[in-house]
Structure 1
């Protein structure tokens, strides 16, 4: 009997369908909120230092709750936790347009609300990632992850593009109402979930430190997972600052393309990611570490080529390649985590990954800014490419499985 194509099996998967639709729409709303938040932080402050402090409030919760969120995503009912976090986020976001209409909105209100939103996110996303892992089987996992990641990136691209336009039409403070709607849409899609609840398996640790320590020991027993997650933060330290600090400089000073050129480069990176994710979902990945660290090496090389491009048109071509190899890193790592991690540790492993990624991103802006101030933007691209390639080579060597580890293929879709 001929089996249905994997994409059709995913479409018939009740819980996967709800999670994908609800969170893709929610990601769109979050992206619009981010545009509005950054613009209001810029508009309502009179110094770069104050604006930076406000933006930091949106990131600080990862330092406090990044690891804790994963512990409770594995300990509590994931569906209930997602609903509670969405409700908290919807109420918090609603405060901004209400205060703006009353003429009472201040920059410190923005900072406090951003802190609350990110705190809820620290608990929501480990629950979401673990929930997605739980509703996929091995045959559809790679394609399912690819569609989730690609859908989120596409929604983010549309949200960022529309955000700037809608600010001109409605004002940044009123854009928060779109985020309110999308959070309630997310709630509407989470409520009917049937097979998302408590993590499978019993918790072997009773306290927070014991749970985190047990998860770290679990990762140390799987070299590919351990080094894939740890070096992800190192890789982001090399490339994130290039995107956020060096690219605007190059777009303006070298290509003469200004802010619009920078925006087009970011859009092409996202487009490359979305298309590559659809291709990767169809592959059978027998050696995920080769994809992950090979992708990191290419990520550094293509980013250097992007930064050294002579004009915006050449840069756009390399931006597509940068986005594509980013997907080559992300998707096999997500599938590897879902495949090797037991259900009662899934949230903690994803939260460790998110926290390490946050640390890498935070350090990257400081590092790239210092490199550019001491040398030039093109030199920063070259040095970071060299660092990324060196990290990738180390990762390939360090992640070699022990002889006792069973080789395992991560299967993509098969029609």
Structure 2
């Protein structure tokens, strides 16, 4: 599935014959030339926009019900706890079964969960315990959806477009990150959180329709893994034996567990530092999304990446996040968070592409399951810790500590990388 690498596993298979070669001028959007990916991309955009609306509405609802940033952190933790507990098993499922079938099942279930939360909120019967339960159920579906998405994309675009498709996936997600909060903030203020949940429920119809429109004959499915004992251990062993996989995953784990806890940090700044409300929280979330979108677009234009880029951007992200602790006002803070968002996505897309391109196709589900476990599963640890720090020591101290953790992690991984085999590069030059 990946292109040959002198430092990684062998490649598998050519690109689909129906996928036209990308022209130099269209390199940024090369993967959209593939029909299946194009349909999936736009379906995901609509669904991701609804999801971001729900995230903002959910965080605001919990804070409104409890008045506690710690409770917001608990909600975030519950949303990602299933990935921490069962993420590796989700990768095994992605290697065993057709990805489209997994995604149709999980997206339908998540749409029903959003609809149920909408009904509870609109009828005025919602309690914080309800939000906690649905956050956990959403995370449970993501155990299976995340590795399925990560492994379905290479099946649609072929090996030579993986790096571009990863970056365009980030463009998709971050574009939705801009649109969702921009709509959710005013919507919550005017008519309440319940309608944001309802719109998210409807948004899942778009991604389900896009999956149904995929032409199976144009896919490059990997050979399903047989049911046998020790598959999780085999995936872990594969990562342990390849530094080009191990180092990005370790760094992503540390940076994401603490540095990416934006809901908790931004709610603390919006409500406690800048004495604002849902509108200010939406503004800060949008600022991060704007920078992240710029970072994703820049990543899509890049023809290559390396472990050096990954480590440097992780360190720069941490330094800048720490510096935001001294921002004198909300506009300065928002401007700095644009840059934080840019470095956030540049780091994440580089790490993701390195892992995808250096993974044996037969192991991709399990490896990406582990990747998504550390990418999102560390949040149940970091969320409450960061929420507790913000509540007891203030948002400024909390974001300073988060940034310093990212800097320390980048420094340690960088030193280890100097002594280990090189972590690979994204092909394309």
Q: The TM-score by the shorter chain falls in which range? A: 0.7 to 0.9
Distance verdict in 2 for CA 1:215–1:401, change over 3 Å? farther
What SS does the aligned partner of 1:203 have?
Answer: coil
Q: Deviations over 1:125-150 (max 9, x none)?
A: 21111111222234433332212101
TM-score normalised according to structure 1 size: 0.84
> Would you say 1:82 and 2:103 are equivalent positions?
yes
Equivalent residue, structure 2, for 1:296: 314
For the pair 1:333 / 2:351, whether they are aligned, the reply is: yes
Alpha-carbon offset, residue 384 of structure 1 = 4.1
Residue aligning to 1:317:
335
Partners of 1:228 and 1:18 lie apart in 2 by 30
Alignment partner for residue 274 of structure 1, among 293, 307, 312?
Answer: 293
The residue aligned with 1:117 is 138
Cα distance in 2 between the residues matched to 1:323 and 1:128: 23
For the structure 1 residues 18 and 228, does the alpha-carbon distance in structure 2 shift closer, same or farther, using more than 3 Å as the test?
same
Moved more, 347-356 or 212-221: 347-356
Question: Cα offset for 1:71?
Answer: 1.1
Q: What is the CA deviation profile of residues 349-373 of structure 1, one whole-angstrom value per residue up to 9, with x for unaligned ones?
A: 2221222233432333444455557
Structure-to-structure mapping, 1:12-23, within 5 angstroms: 12-23=33-44
Which residue in the other structure is 1:206 paired with?
228
Shift in CA distance, 224/398, structure 1 to aligned 2, threshold 3 Å: farther
SS of the residue corresponding to residue 60 of structure 1 reads helix
Q: 1:331 to 1:58 in 2, by over 3 A?
A: closer
Question: Per-residue deviation at 1:309?
Answer: 2.2
Query: How many residues matched?
Result: 406
Separation in 2 of the partners of 1:400 and 1:384?
25
Go from structure 1 to structure 2 and tell me whether the alpha carbon gap of 1:313 and 1:123 turns closer, same or farther (over 3 Å shift): same
Whole-Å separation in 2 of the counterparts to 1:408 and 1:236: 22
Q: Deviations over 1:379-401 (max 9, x none)?
A: 55444444322221211232358
Cα displacement (A) at 1:91: 2.9
Whether contact under 8 Å (1:143, 1:278) holds in the other structure is no
Q: What is the CA–CA distance in structure 2 between the aligned matches of 1:393 and 1:181, rounded to whole Å?
A: 44
Q: Is the 8 A contact 1:304 1:382 kept in 2?
A: yes
Question: What CA RMSD, in Å, does the superposition of the two structures yield over aligned residues?
Answer: 3.3
- Structure 2 CA distance for aligned equivalents of residues 316 and 182 of structure 1: 28
Tell whether the 8 Å contact from 2:95 to 2:365 is kept in structure 1 after alignment.
yes
> Do residues 227 (structure 1) and 247 (structure 2) align?
yes
Give a deviation string over 1:243-287, Cα, whole Å, max 9, x none.
44455445566666666555433322211111121112222325x
Measured against aligned partners, the alpha-carbon deviations of 1:87-127 in whole angstroms (never above 9, x if no partner) come to 22223333344556777666555444433332122211211
Deviation of residue 20 (structure 1)?
0.8
**Aligned pair 1:163/2:180, yes or no?**
no
User: Which residue among 347, 350, 370 is the counterpart of 2:368?
Assistant: 350
Q: State how far apart, in whole Å, the 1-side matches of 2:328 and 2:70 are.
A: 33
Structure 1, unpaired ranges of 5+: none
Q: CA deviation at 1:86?
A: 1.8
Residues 22-41 of structure 1: matches in 2 within 5 Å? 22-41=43-62
Aligned residue number for residue 408 of structure 2: 390
Question: CA 1:346–1:254 in structure 2 vs 1: closer, same or farther (change >3 Å)?
Answer: same
